[in-house]
């Protein structure tokens, strides 16, 4: 009682240990490997809690993708407790404990001292590699629903910031002053949108209000970090809802500079909406998804507009398409560090689209045998579903790729226009051949 009164006088959050009877989370819900890690830490005299997104998801009835453990033990104290464990990280050291096929990330409680943390001129934290207490660790986490700790031994949930109450109200709330927290790490604005859409939560008014004004801070985030967070958002299984939320809070221009232009075009909006819906469907069904295909779909109508503009100025079709792709990717990669491997695949898919118009001679056979044909055909099917190209074109290629050789030959369209005669190479006479240098 006295401890709680002191905390209230000092303005500190009240530690709430919620017993098993007041929540539905049990130790059986966590993975056996996670339980073993927590038990080993406790046996060595340290604390061991399941923390973060895993606790949040379990309380919402969602199966976590992985489990993280937080402890008061330092990394060099954690590693000797396990046969297969390595210390990783530069900015903040972590321990990866490998038990069977599972890898458990064990982190030491971190401090949240805004006075000692190294920041840039806009308030973004650059370095805060300081160990701390569990209370400090909870305070430095981004959202209240992510600052929950589950003790497998007692089956209690430790809650410093009202995360359990927020989960019950289906609200996502930033811990501390939202503007300060967003300035410390602008990526938190994207995470707020992604988590709210993924978990079906409503952004708390105070959490939502500063986002539009602080959106320009994303321009100072390293492109690689921005790309990673954008990829998580698009592959969350709720990409459609995430992008709608991005527009609602005013973040879309800071993430994909061309996305607002695409969505203002009726044809482009239908195309992007279909692409996102298909991606969400595949993710939720646990089927593989190609990030290259998704980014190609998001940027296709900007490529298409630039391509048509160049052709209108008299440029030839394929060189104009190549130049249009260069322009769009240069603009995007300046903000998002889209990897070269992805952009190479995107270019192949885009470049193959005009070739689908060629359904005569050997060109159709060569296209079907191309390495990226299947992805390019799926892209064509998406264009047909959105009304961009005739449905008959997609149906022809769908039938052609699965037909037998005789049927394929019968399906080919007749050649149109004059055929170019190939010039036969003139054979050299023996005297001429002898005079040529070796």
CA distances from 285 to 76, 196, 231, 236, 237 (A): 41, 21, 18, 12, 9
Distance CA 300, CA 293 (A): 10
Q: Which regions of 12-67 does DSSP assign to beta strands (E)?
A: 16-18, 49-51
Write the CB contacts of 427 (distance below 8 Å, at least 6 apart in sequence).
none
Q: Give yes or no: 68 in active site.
A: yes
Distance CA 23, CA 129 (A): 34
User: Please, are residues 298 and 272 in contact by the beta-carbon 8 Å criterion?
Assistant: yes
Catalytic residue among 68, 72, 137, 159: 68
Residue 95: name the closest of 42, 28, 41, 157 by CA. Answer: 41
The residue behind tokens 């990330």 is 105
Distance CA 310, CA 304 (A): 10
- Name the strand (E) or helix (H) holding 160: none
Catalytic residue among 72, 128, 137, 142: 142
Q: Give yes or no: 327 in active site.
A: no
Q: Give yes or no: 66 in active site.
A: yes
User: Please, are residues 50 and 149 in contact by the beta-carbon 8 Å criterion?
Assistant: yes
Catalytic residue ranges: 66, 68, 142
């Amino acid at each position: 009682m006295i401890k709680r009164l002191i905390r209230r006088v000092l303005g500190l959050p009240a530690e709430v240990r919620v017993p098993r009877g007041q929540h539905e989370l049990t130790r059986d819900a966590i993975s056996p490997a996670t339980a073993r890690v927590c038990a080993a830490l406790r046996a060595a005299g340290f604390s061991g809690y399941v923390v973060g997104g895993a606790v949040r998801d379990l309380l919402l009835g969602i199966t976590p993708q992985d489990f993280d453990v937080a402890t008061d033990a330092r990394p060099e104290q954690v590693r000797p407790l396990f046969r297969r464990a390595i210390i990783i990280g530069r900015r903040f050291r972590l321990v990866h404990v490998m038990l069977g096929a599972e890898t458990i990330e064990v982190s030491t409680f971190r401090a949240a001292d805004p006075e000692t943390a190294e920041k840039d001129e806009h308030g973004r934290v650059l370095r805060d590699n300081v160990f701390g207490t569990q209370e400090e660790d909870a305070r430095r986490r981004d959202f209240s629903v992510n600052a929950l700790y589950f003790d497998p031994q007692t089956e209690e949930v430790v809650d410093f910031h009202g995360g359990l109450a927020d989960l019950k109200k289906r609200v996502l709330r930033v811990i501390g002053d939202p503007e300060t927290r967003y300035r410390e790490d602008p990526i938190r604005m994207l995470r707020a949108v992604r988590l709210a859409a993924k978990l079906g939560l409503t952004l708390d008014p105070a959490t939502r209000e500063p986002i539009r004004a602080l959106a320009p801070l994303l321009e100072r985030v390293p492109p690689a970090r921005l790309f990673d967070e954008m990829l998580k958002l698009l592959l969350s299984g709720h990409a459609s809802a995430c992008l709608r939320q991005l527009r609602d809070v005013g973040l879309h221009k800071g993430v994909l500079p061309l996305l607002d232009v695409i969505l203002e075009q009726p044809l482009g909006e239908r195309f992007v909406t279909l692409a996102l819906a298909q991606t969400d469907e595949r993710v939720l069904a646990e089927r593989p998804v190609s990030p290259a295909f998704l980014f190609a779909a998001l940027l296709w109508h900007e490529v298409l507009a630039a391509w048509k503009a160049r052709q209108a100025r008299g440029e030839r079709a394929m060189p104009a398409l190549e130049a249009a792709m260069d322009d769009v990717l240069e603009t995007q990669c300046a903000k998002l560090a889209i990897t070269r491997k992805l952009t190479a695949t995107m270019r192949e898919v885009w470049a193959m689209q005009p070739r689908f118009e060629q359904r005569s001679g050997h060109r159709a056979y060569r296209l079907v045998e191309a390495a990226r044909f299947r992805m390019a055909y799926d892209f064509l099917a998406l264009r047909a579903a959105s009304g961009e190209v005739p449905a008959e074109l997609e149906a022809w290629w769908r039938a052609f790729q699965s037909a037998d050789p005789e049927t394929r030959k019968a399906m080919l369209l007749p050649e149109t226009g004059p055929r170019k005669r190939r010039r036969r190479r003139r054979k050299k006479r023996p005297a001429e051949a002898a005079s040529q240098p070796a």
